Chain A
Amino acid sequence: MNEILENVVLADSVNRYLVAAPKIAARRKAGQFVIVRIDEFGERIPLTIADADPAQGTITLVVQAVGKSTAQMATLKPGDRLLDVVGPLGAPTHIERVGTVAVVAGGIGIAPAHPVAQAFKQAGNTVIAILGARSKNLLIMEDEMRRAADEVIVCTDDGSYGCPGLVTHVLNDLIDTRGKPDQVFAVGPVPMMKYVSLLTREYGIPTMVSLNPIMMDGTGMCGGCRVTIGGHTKFACVEGPDFDGHLVDFDELMQRQAFYKEQERVAYERYVQRCRSQEHIAQANQSL
């Protein structure tokens, strides 16, 4: 269990892991996540399940290396094991047949958007996926999304691929030229979800967002994942991760996500330093 079967680089500092987790693979639904701990010193990292194969007993995780733990994870090789994988966590995304659904995903958010797009499609909706990345080399899973959705529109911040601009521009154009989708599902960086929600509120389009606050146990026990939804506190790990985008206090979420940035920097720099000294030792040993 928990064996890494594949670790493939999808884009700059973004890796796709295939992990043996048969029970989770059989159980999980679109929108759910796992918590992973790499080794006995590790922190508990919440990661959305990007895909699952119940027959093979595997789940797919797509992870961007943004700090110590995720950088360490990127060094794992097939055959290595994650110490702990717990899930599926959170409530599944609410899927129903509404007509046309715009699945708006930015950056690494394309990974968790993929099973949601599949599920909406399977429920009989027309799915239009709007994928955003900063640059062409950071765009992931375009082919998978093309298979999952009826239509895919790609945009990049720097215009290196697809339409130039942000996903909000594409969504706005879509609404102007082809009318309002019946529902929007947005997942990605918090500012992106915020501006998508502001836009869809103007048009009165029901909008679900998938939140990723700091989290620890994933059972509702610690309350570290508190988010404010319409003025009320919710625990994202058990009451989410999906919420009505028009009610989320995104600014608070952004601040809470940044709370440990100083410690995260310390941990990352220390890790990089250690990797370097290990490389030096390895090189020195080779030259002997």
Chain B
Amino acid sequence: MDQELDRNEIERLYNLKAKERMQIERQPMPEQEPDVRRANFSEVPFGYFPMAAIVEANRCIQCKKPTCVIGCPVGVNIPGFVRRIAEGDFEGAIHVIKETNMLPAICGRVCPQEQQCEEACVLAKKGQAVAIGRLERFAADWEREHGLADVPPIGSDTGKSVGVVGSGPAGLTVAIDLRRAGHAVTIYEALHLPGGVLMYGIPEFRLPKAIVNAEVDVVQQMGVDIEYNTIIGQIETVDELLDRHDAVFLGTGAGLPWFMDLPGENLCGVYSANEYLTRCNLMRAYDFPNYDTPIAASERIAVVGGGNVAMDVARTAVRLGAEEVYLIYRRSEAEMPARLEEIHHAKQEGVILKLLHNPVRYIGDEEGRVCQVECVRMELGEPDASGRRRPVVVEGSEHTIDVDTVVVAIGNGPNPLVPRTTDNLEVDPKRGTVVTNMNTMRTSKRGVFAGGDIAVGAATVILAMGHGRQAARSINHFLATGVWDIDELPEAFRENGAG
């Protein structure tokens, strides 16, 4: 590997002055052309080549007080790993990352860096931030492709055991950290594959499933046991888990799709984003009939929503062969919650944005299949509680769009299966979330911790991982001391946590 690198160039870059570093252009990441990728499910970006990664890493001016680290929910030592990439020491870089983040190949791909580390980058204020996410991804991919992914050291057996409900980003993170501390860990997963939303929700072209599998393999090599097809709340209750585990972590996610309660919403061909994506990602309906699970063969599809999930659905529909893919969003593009990169990719791939539009009902044919969506146009009024301008219906603007499929991607609530079946577990009556102390990640039930979407409602992968990390610290403390009363906890848990 080292032979490929231009040592002279590395040395020249290494000796640059801060001012000179700031002159280097942000390195683009090569990606599939839109016309090509419209017809395949392969990952869109190819990732950096080594020299591009080194050049990009040299843009970092190694701030004394790195604000990027504060922007990271798990506090990765960003200047540390970027410096090692700049030196051509890729193995050193991944070791630095893995001190705090065991799932970097995933984070490097799906974190909203532009709202986190990269937003906080000093260079962002003067132009373009260091491409921290791309560099993280580069280091993780380099390690995996070179077969160097080590199993982290496991602490000596504590004799304690923890049950983790759900193998999504929160559950995997808590499992890794607890196992490292020497506890026995069993993950209970409802589906037949690990990863939660990483597997069923995020499409292959954004997060290849081989990468999720590789990261989960390491977790299993650490000795974490994963029991698939095990739906807690049905086959066993949380109380029963507490009979054989010393603590339980709930990371059951936001598995409850929201609908808008519109007329015609139960017509054939109207999907939740969860169903559409799960059919395609988890069940591989894009490869029907080689795989048995079918999905609508859409020609004209409307996706309702403006978040990342809506973009994932729209771009999936493009790849499934839909001729027209409309994205119906009630505000303007500026208010879209999706990442800029996702909106950009969607537009490149031919997704038609129907901005300032809102569906009011779905119209079906004689077989009960959706054939039209009736929309109204919206205009932006005064800012609402979220600070975004409130969309207001334009009177008399009703019109219909011909479609054969609709996917509702307006968000998810917490899955109620565990809250409903667990005694003495306080649940937020309005939001359905498990009431969780964000410093200790404790719930109202002794020995039970929670994190990720079940604790806060739909959020991000990295936030869930941050919760997992914080919960592991808190669980370690609980297992060591048996202290549950919050007043007896050390200062660190009563003040500011990573959550």
- Assess whether B234 is in contact with A224, with CB atoms less than 8 Å apart: no
Report the Cα distance A233→B190, complex, angstroms: 23
Q: Is A84's CB under 8 angstroms from B268's CB?
A: no
Provide the bound-state CA to CA distance between A251 and B267, in Å: 11
A221 within 8 A of B: yes
Whole-angstrom distance between the Cβ of A285 and the nearest chain B Cβ: 25
| Cα–Cα, bound, A266→B235 (Å) | 35
CA distance A238 to B413 in the complex (A): 15
* B255-A226 in contact (CB<8A): no
**A255 to B274 alpha-carbon distance, docked (Å):** 21
Chain A, residue nearest B258 (CB): A223
Residue numbers in B under 8 Å from A87 (CB-CB): 231, 234-235
A27-B235, A267-B288 known; A228+B266 contact, CB < 8 A = yes
Query: In whole angstroms, how far apart are the Cα atoms of A219 and B418 in the complex?
Result: 10
Bound together, the chains give a CA A224 to CA B190 distance in angstroms of 17
Q: Are A68 and B292 in contact (CB under 8 A)?
A: yes
Q: For this complex, into which size category does the number of interface residues on chain A fall?
A: 35 or more
The verdict on A252 contacting B228 (CB below 8 Å), with A43-B283, A44-B283, A222-B272 known, is no
Which of A27, A43, A68 has the largest count of B CB atoms less than 10 A from its CB?
Answer: A43
Task: Mark B399-419 against chain A: 1 for CB-CB distance below 8 A, else 0.
Answer: 000000000000000011100
Chain B: which residue is nearest A218 at the CB level? B231
- List B contacts of A89 (CB < 8 A): 231, 234
Interface residues on B, range: 35 or more
Interface SS, A side: mixed
One of A7-15, A93-101, A183-191, A257-265 contacting the partner: A257-265
B235 touches A258 (CB 8 A): no
Contact residues, B77-113 vs A (CB, 8 A): none
Complex CA gap A266/B297 in Å reads 13
Contact partner of A221 (CB less than 8 A), chosen from B230, B257, B297, is B257
Known: A42-B292, A270-B289. A220 touches B278 (CB 8 A): no
Known A41-B290, A223-B274; contact A255-B268, beta-carbon cutoff 8 A? yes
Quick one: CB contact mask for A79-99 with B, threshold 8 Å, 1 for yes? 000011111110000000000
- Residues on B lying within 8 angstroms of A by beta carbon are 190-192, 200, 228-231, 234-236, 255-257, 259, 261, 265-266, 268-269, 271-272, 274-275, 278-279, 283, 288-294, 296-297, 367-369, 415-417
Given contacts A216-B275, A259-B268, A266-B289, 14 further A-B contacts (CB under 8 A): A37-B192, A69-B292, A87-B234, A89-B234, A216-B279, A216-B293, A219-B190, A223-B257, A223-B272, A233-B259, A233-B265, A259-B269, A259-B296, A267-B289
